[in-house]
Amino acid sequence: MSTKSKAWYRKKIRRKLFWRQHGTVIITWGLVAAAVLALLGSLLWREYADQKEAEAAVALEAQRIPAGDGFSVSPCLLDPSLVPEYSGEPYVNLTEGVPGFHLYDLTNFTGEAYKPLDELGRCQGAMALLHKSLMPKEERGPIGQIKPSGWNQKKYAGIIEADPPYLYHRCHLIAYAMTGQNANERNLITGSSYLNLESMLEWETKVLKYLDRCGNHVLYRVTPVFRGEELVCRGVEMEAYSLEDHGAGLCFHVFVFNVQPGIEIDYATGESHPSP
């Protein structure tokens, strides 16, 4: 065997011995390095995708929620024609479900705000930045001392399925379960049993479940809508928007009618009688 062939053979033997001794370690570390690189690539891609998703959400939010100039006003107060006549449904969606908040509201509003009663003693609306930390832990106290505008109570046994079968409830605009506001006359309206225990409750439950589930913040506004000098509101406008997820988790705008099946309400005075 030539000297060149011997040298080549020795190199081949050394390579075999090297891979026998270190091959497993090299392959293992190679796989680890590949996995780390793949993980880093995945994280970087996820970060990039999240950034693009956030940018898209903000862009969509800017399209749906106008910039505005200062704090917004309830759409139904700005344009009463938004409120349709009652046609048998407990509520209607307004403005395709998009609330009338401004971007300014979403970034600047904090705490709770309850508008002063007007000259007729009527509630004018309430707004709050909700979080589950605001939810009360104690039982609700008495509110019987509050007499909202149009409070003209009657019982309707056999028509209203409650015990006792009262027509009217002292109805919180922002539910006690959300902020612990109780006997606040700026937050209590004359609402039918149906409005309080069924219609509004559906939307309040959506808000409470969302807050409890994820701990995000929700901008929430409830506005009673009166006609002329009527003392009992025709219904309430309810708006909600979840902040951290740009409305993906919670976003609605509804008008809920203050009605009672089987009963006719005189909204001017609060008087009532069974439907013919």
Q: Are 121 and 270 in contact (CB under 8 A)?
A: no
pLDDT digits (tens, 9 = 90+) for 156-192: 999 998 889 999 999 999 999 999 999 999 999 999 9
> Residue 154, exposed/middle/buried by CB under 10 A (0-12, 13-18, 19+)?
middle
Q: What is the mean pLDDT of residues 77-93?
A: 94
Any residues with CB less than 8 A from the CB of 204 and at least 6 apart, and which?
175, 177, 178
Cβ-contact 129, 219 below 8 angstroms: yes
Q: Structural domain boundaries of the chain? A: 1-64, 66-274
pTM attached to this predicted model? 0.78
- The residue ranking higher by pLDDT, 28 or 122, is 122
pLDDT at 64: 73
Largest Cα span, the chain: 120
Residue 7: pLDDT over 70: no
pLDDT, the chain, mean: 88
The CATH code belonging to domain 66-274 is 3.40.570.10
Three-class DSSP labels, 1-53: CCHHHHHHHHHHHHHHHHHHHHHHHHHHHHHHHHHHHHHHHHHHHHHHHHHHH
Q: Is 206 helix (H, G, I), strand (E, B) or coil?
A: helix
Q: Which whole number is the average pLDDT over 43-59?
A: 56
User: Which residues face 225 on adjacent strands?
Assistant: 235
The answer to whether 123 touches 188, Cβ cutoff 8 Å, is yes
pLDDT at 60: 47
Q: Indicate if the pLDDT at residue 226 is higher than 50.
A: yes
What is the share, in percent, of the chain residues with pLDDT greater than 90?
71
**pLDDT (0 to 100) of residue 266:** 98
